[in-house]
A and B are shown apart, each in its own frame.
Chain A
Amino acid sequence: MSFLGLDALGAVLLVPIAAATILIVLPGYVLSARLNVVASLVTLGAAVLLFFERPAPGQYLHVDDLNVVFIVLNTFVGFTTSVFSASYIAHEIEIGRLTPTYLRFYHAMYQTMMFGMNLALVANSIGLMWVAVELATLTTVLMVGIYRTSEALEAAWKYFILGSVGIALALFGTILVYMAARPVVGEGVDAMTWTILVANASGFDPALLNLAFIFLLLGYGTKVGLAPLHAWLPDAHAEGPTPISAVLSGLLLNVALYALLRFKILLAATPQAIAPGPLLVTLGLTSLVFAAFMLYRRRDIKRMFAYSSIEHMGIIAFAFGMGGPLANFAGLLHMTMHSLTKSAIFFAVGHIAQVKGTQKIAEIRGLTVTHPVLGWGLVLGVVAIAGLPPLGIFMSEFLVVSSTFARQPWLAIPLVLGLLVAFGALLLRLGGLAFGEPAGSTAPVEASYVPMFAHLGLVCTAGIYLPPPLVAWFQHVAALLG
């Protein structure tokens, strides 16, 4: 039976690569957009199969209870974004913002990026994981710069330089982990294989591992967008095509966080090593409070939601840093909810920016009047992301806050402060965007609402009712995270 599982694992990696190869030569955007959707759907199907059929861990690839959650989330949002992307791109071609050549490149890069992220999630070798994260970074750099405006180029350059520095620091950390593992595990591939590392972690040199974690935290933390390493994130989100903003926020940040979690587990398995929790808690709280205040001054709608992503990654990092079954559960739930909600918001924002022809908040007003479906979709999304009951994010934020109150009450003060400040900023902006005096174009919009409302529907359902199998699964994973 493991044969089928191996096939599913292979498909998660091979389908995107095969699709990318075809897409780079395929002319005609309608056909390539469809192929992009189909390939993403097949990848999603293969990812779901991994729940049932799982191959034994190999030297380079493995699937366990932790990463299967990430893989399914990754491929699901990848699929819905490809549906959104098809209608978004049609408009970009119409107004001539993208040429067919660039579009071919765009679709091929989309699948290559999906490949990179899936590979990072299933990699059993910490070296392979690093390569995959770097691949995903480089492809997104190219996508961010695809409009070739001066702002897009600046954003891509900044992202490239900061991302490379981060990734370089992460490699140094990876080498240090190898150095720590070598005396115990022996030379060669084994000393970089995740499953073997964790099994032998108790014998590792704690000092070396501590240093390694600092580098890994700074390196992968840059990719997570934790303050003060976040400088690339708002620009990259604001200037690239909106589907890319959706996958950046919804997926790539998660992949980097997953890498950090892996090393956190490794450190937790080594007695005498520093506890990684407080470091994550500090960075998480800094990001949360910083981003919450920054939300007030934003004039660009995509930039504002980019800061909101920093805020939420801060909350997630904080929850995982606190550790324990309840906080980890809340962190996992929050990560899932944030991915779904934030990509839904970017789907709405993408169409809004297209129809209004601007990303400036001041020039987008009264959306519920001019474009009721989009406007109310945005309202629902922002209400969800701000953490109002009864939506999914309220539940996960409530769990984070209540578990913090129970264990470290004084840490809950900055946490709640950050949440409230961000809440205020988002609702303040939403007032003008959705209910102000209508301004700008009122032209009807050709949008596909299905991905947006599918995500929002899931988020609403999760706020009211979480299926018991899902809860059991998350609880199990939360226990694994320690």
Chain B
Amino acid sequence: MDRFAFDLAHLLAGGLVLVSFTMLYQDRLYALLNIFAIHALVLTLSVAWQANVQHAPHLYVTAAIALVFKAIVVPLALHRMVVRLGIHREVETVVGIGATMLAGMGLVALSMVVMLRVTPGADPLAREDLAFALAVVLLGLLMMVTRRNAVSQVVGFMSLENGLILAATGAKGMPLVVEISVAFSILIAFIVIGIFLFRIRERFDTVDVHALDRFRGERR
């Protein structure tokens, strides 16, 4: 394979992991949303490059969806929501930033060890892509469990989905139906989340998921 093509794909996928790390230590919602936009942008570049390398024009559609929907529309919409709800203050975290970063490093190491060990036979590009993708997925999960705020949990979930798309595009020739469905499901997921945020606000005037726990009362 062309050395340059490989290096650039590697760089972009690695960049996605790096941006995931950057998201882990954001303590303000606006900054978090901006970083998420960058995350989606890096994903767009990565998918577009895969489309070019694999001569798979349908992947450009996936790239376009990532660019328009995830890098522009969603961050803007969430931004407006944050303004309207007046929750731009600090993001509450469950665990300290330092511990989270250490856990993140552990997860990246884990995904490298696991993926590279089980896929010696696969072609190198797909293999490393998959390892990076797993790292992004795990970092997204980590972000979801370490944040209390509903908006940042949603951002964590979307970065996790970005990792899945990276994996799906890295698997050469994966049928189009799956890519579209992934993009589509993100859309649905976002609508669902939108409804939820709306309802949560209506009821509690807060989007801090921690507040939900208080209502459990004696039920537990």
A positions within 8 Å CB-CB of B: 125, 127-128, 130-131, 134-135, 138, 141-142, 145, 148, 150-151, 153-154, 156-157, 160-161, 164-165, 168-169, 171-172, 174-176, 178-179, 182-183, 187-189, 191-192, 205, 207-208, 210-211, 238, 299-300, 303
**Interface contact A153-B177, CB-CB below 8 Å:** no
Known: A138-B192, A157-B200. 8 other contacts (CB 8 A): A130-B181, A142-B195, A156-B196, A157-B209, A165-B144, A187-B173, A187-B174, A189-B175
Give the contact stretch, choosing among B26-34, B40-48, B159-167: B159-167
Tell me the nearest residue of chain B to A165, going by C-beta: B141
0/1 string, B110-136, CB within 8 A of A gives 1: 000011011101100010001001100
Give, as a whole number of angstroms, the nearest-CB distance from A138 to chain B: 6
Give, as a whole number of angstroms, the nearest-CB distance from B143 to chain A: 11
Contact for B188 among A138, A176, A299, CB less than 8 A: A138
B64 at interface by CB-CB < 8 Å: no
Whole-angstrom CA separation of A145 from B195 in the bound complex: 10
Q: Tell me the total A-B contact number using a CB cutoff of 8 A.
A: 122
Tell me the nearest residue of chain A to B196, going by C-beta: A157
User: Given A134-B185, A168-B164, does the pair A150, B204 have CB atoms closer than 8 Å?
Assistant: yes
User: Given A141-B192, A207-B118, A300-B219, does the pair A153, B203 have CB atoms closer than 8 Å?
Assistant: yes
Query: Size band of the B side of the interface?
Result: 35 or more
User: Given A141-B192, A172-B137, A208-B122, does the pair A192, B157 have CB atoms closer than 8 Å?
Assistant: no
Contact for B172 among A125, A168, A187, CB less than 8 A: A187
Tell me the nearest residue of chain A to B217, going by C-beta: A151
Enumerate chain A residues within 8 angstroms of B175, measured Cβ to Cβ: 125, 127, 188-189, 191-192
B77 at interface by CB-CB < 8 Å: no
Give, as a whole number of angstroms, the nearest-CB distance from B150 to chain A: 8
Enumerate chain B residues within 8 angstroms of A208, measured Cβ to Cβ: 118-119, 122
Whole-angstrom CA separation of A148 from B203 in the bound complex: 8
Whole-angstrom CA separation of A222 from B152 in the bound complex: 22
User: Given A138-B192, A142-B192, does the pair A150, B177 have CB atoms closer than 8 Å?
Assistant: no
Enumerate chain A residues within 8 angstroms of B215, measured Cβ to Cβ: 150-151, 154
User: Given A127-B177, A179-B130, does the pair A211, B171 have CB atoms closer than 8 Å?
Assistant: no
Contact for B161 among A131, A161, A168, CB less than 8 A: A168
**Interface contact B171-A145, CB-CB below 8 Å:** no
B positions within 8 Å CB-CB of A: 114-115, 117-119, 121-122, 126, 130, 133-134, 137, 141, 144, 150, 153, 157, 160-161, 164, 167-168, 171-175, 177-178, 181-182, 185, 188-189, 192-193, 195-196, 199-200, 203-204, 209, 212-213, 215-216, 218-219
Give, as a whole number of angstroms, the nearest-CB distance from A211 to chain B: 5
Enumerate chain B residues within 8 angstroms of A135, measured Cβ to Cβ: 188
Enumerate chain B residues within 8 angstroms of A187, measured Cβ to Cβ: 172-174
Tell me the nearest residue of chain B to A189, going by C-beta: B175
Give, as a whole number of angstroms, the nearest-CB distance from A214 to chain B: 9
Enumerate chain A residues within 8 angstroms of B185, measured Cβ to Cβ: 131, 134
**Interface contact B160-A151, CB-CB below 8 Å:** no
Enumerate chain A residues within 8 angstroms of B218, measured Cβ to Cβ: 299
Enumerate chain B residues within 8 angstroms of A130, measured Cβ to Cβ: 178, 181
Tell me the nearest residue of chain A to B164, going by C-beta: A171
Whole-angstrom CA separation of A397 from B181 in the bound complex: 40
Tell me the nearest residue of chain A to B127, going by C-beta: A179
Contact for B114 among A191, A205, A211, CB less than 8 A: A211
**Interface contact A172-B203, CB-CB below 8 Å:** no
Can you offer 8 A-B residue contacts whose CB atoms are under 8 A?
Answer: A127-B178, A148-B203, A153-B196, A154-B216, A157-B200, A164-B189, A178-B174, A188-B173
Tell me the nearest residue of chain A to B119, going by C-beta: A208
Contact for A172 among B121, B153, B167, B213, CB less than 8 A: B167
Give, as a whole number of angstroms, the nearest-CB distance from A287 to chain B: 20
Whole-angstrom CA separation of A179 from B188 in the bound complex: 27
Enumerate chain B residues within 8 angstroms of A183, measured Cβ to Cβ: 121-122
Give, as a whole number of angstroms, the nearest-CB distance from B196 to chain A: 6
Give, as a whole number of angstroms, the nearest-CB distance from A46 to chain B: 24
Enumerate chain A residues within 8 angstroms of B188, measured Cβ to Cβ: 135, 138
